[in-house]
Structure 1
Amino acid sequence: MLAPIHVVASEDVDAYDMLMDQYTEAVQPRDFVEWMWVRDLTDQTWEEFRAKRARAVRLRLAQREAVELIMKAHYPRNTDKSAEMEFEIQKDVADILRGEEVPAAGFKLIRERFDIKGWDMFGAVYQACLSDMERFQRIADRANARRNMTLREIDRRRDAVARRARNVATKLINAVDADFE
């Protein structure tokens, strides 16, 4: 009845299914149109989650970029971009990000040398990926807005059905009342 789900191989299909089950329980779809809305709600929420996960990954990658930039500034002799020096820098960056004690202590000294404090480091990380962060936020915001529109449409449709049912009931009651008068 529905198209294949929009989950990529690295994502959790069970989590997607659980989300759809939760929307199904909340909406209790009555027909094909409402099932399509449940699917839309699930996809829109999944897209928002995906954007938020991407934002978190981008922050981690930006942290690596910032550490690498500082390390390269510390090793200015690598102007010829030697492969050996580049390998050493990348190894140090990986060790620092893993929290290895000796490289982390050395990195702290390097940051002090450049007068880069903790919040400065976060600022550099955030600045390095700001345009990506804004893009991911726009994706999340659009998914959220589409989800809210879908929910309003469900409410409108169900209100219209309820109004029609009330009108029919009122007409029937009036007709029955007229018969008894």
Structure 2
Amino acid sequence: MSDEVENETWEPKPGSQASPTQPAIKPLPAEPVQRPASAAPVQQIPAEPTAKAPPIEAVRAPSAATDIQHSPKDLGALFAKRPLVLGESEADYDELLSKVTAAGKPTDAIEALWIKDMVDLVWESQRLRRLKASLLMKAGQQALTNLLAKTKDAGQVNGVRVFSVPELITAYAAGEAAAVAEVETILRRRGLDIDSLMAQALAEKLDDIERIDRLIAGADARRNRALSELERRRDSFARRRRFTAQDVTDVG
């Protein structure tokens, strides 16, 4: 019996899997796939055009050293404030600021501030000089008024009154020939000239004049210090650049 088993050869039946040990596995029937109803096509929203970025130059912060030369109004609150008093011109101040800045060529904000300080001090000094001249003019006119008030024929030409005393002084200050001749005649009769009259006016206002002179000297000194600080800072930077260049040369 054992010999029969050993000699028996296994052959697969038609339609079966060629496996001597496992029966053939029947595949499961495929279930139909339930597909959802077709949805409406999705409408694509067109993309908005992207704004082109401005060039770097357009968004770069303005340079104080450049703007101060061309438009002081664009330099912020500090530079927009002008140290003006009644009767002074904003345009004249801006012109002075532009010219001094163009000459000084500030390279950064610190130098621009020093330039602004110098311009303000120059402006203050010029104002004080104008006030001093105005004070002397007023004192001279008052001295002339006092003199003419004591002169009976003041304002008369060939015995005919042409000017009142105030009109004579106004016409003399304006340089009208008839008024100038009349005043000079009156002064000569008294042994005076206009310089001696102004000397009397100066003596009366000397204390005020000296105070104004001290204010002028102080403004000029502060202006000169600001200029010295600017020059010292630039010299220091120049020395540093030279030392750095020398170090690079030595290393090379």
Q: TM-score, normalised by structure 2?
A: 0.56
Measure the CA separation in 2 of the matches of 1:24 and 1:66: 43
SS of residue paired to 2:79 = coil
Who is 1:12 aligned against?
89
Pair 1:145–1:110, CA change in 2 (3 A): same
Who is 1:172 aligned against?
248
Pair 1:21–1:108, CA change in 2 (3 A): closer
Decide whether the 8 Å contact of 1:45 with 1:144 is kept in 2. yes
Structure that is richer in helix per residue = 1
Which range moved further: 41-50 or 62-71? 62-71
Measure the CA separation in 2 of the matches of 1:15 and 1:132: 27
Which residue type is aligned with residue 224 of structure 2? N
Who is 1:44 aligned against?
121
Measure the CA separation in 1 of the matches of 2:231 and 2:181: 58
Once the two structures are TM-superposed, the CA of residue 30 in structure 1 deviates from its matched residue by 1.4
Which residue type is aligned with residue 43 of structure 1? D
Decide whether the 8 Å contact of 2:141 with 2:169 is kept in 1. no
Who is 2:213 aligned against?
137
Is structure 2 residue 138 aligned with structure 1 residue 65?
Answer: no
Query: Of 127, 150, 162, which residue of structure 1 is paired with 2:203?
Result: 127
Pair 1:119–1:27, CA change in 2 (3 A): closer
Q: TM-score, normalised by structure 1?
A: 0.75
Is structure 2 residue 166 aligned with structure 1 residue 93?
Answer: yes
Measure the CA separation in 1 of the matches of 2:223 and 2:91: 21
Which residue type is aligned with residue 52 of structure 1? R
Decide whether the 8 Å contact of 1:41 with 1:150 is kept in 2. yes
Once the two structures are TM-superposed, the CA of residue 39 in structure 1 deviates from its matched residue by 0.5
Q: Look at both structures and tell me which one has the larger radius of gyration over its CA atoms.
A: 2
Which residue type is aligned with residue 112 of structure 2? W
Superposition CA RMSD, Å: 2.6
Post-superposition Cα deviations, 1:119-142, rounded to whole Å, max 9, x if no partner, equal: 321222222322222222222221
Figure out how many residues of one structure are paired with residues of the other and give that number: 161
Who is 2:17 aligned against?
none
Considering Cα pairs closer than 8 Å and 6+ residues apart, tell me whether 1 or 2 has the greater RCO.
Answer: 1
SS of residue paired to 1:7 = coil
Who is 2:27 aligned against?
none
* Percent identity over paired residues: 30
Structure 2: which 5+ runs fail to align?
1-77, 153-163
Pair 1:101–1:173, CA change in 2 (3 A): closer
Once the two structures are TM-superposed, the CA of residue 28 in structure 1 deviates from its matched residue by 1.1
Once the two structures are TM-superposed, the CA of residue 3 in structure 1 deviates from its matched residue by 5.6
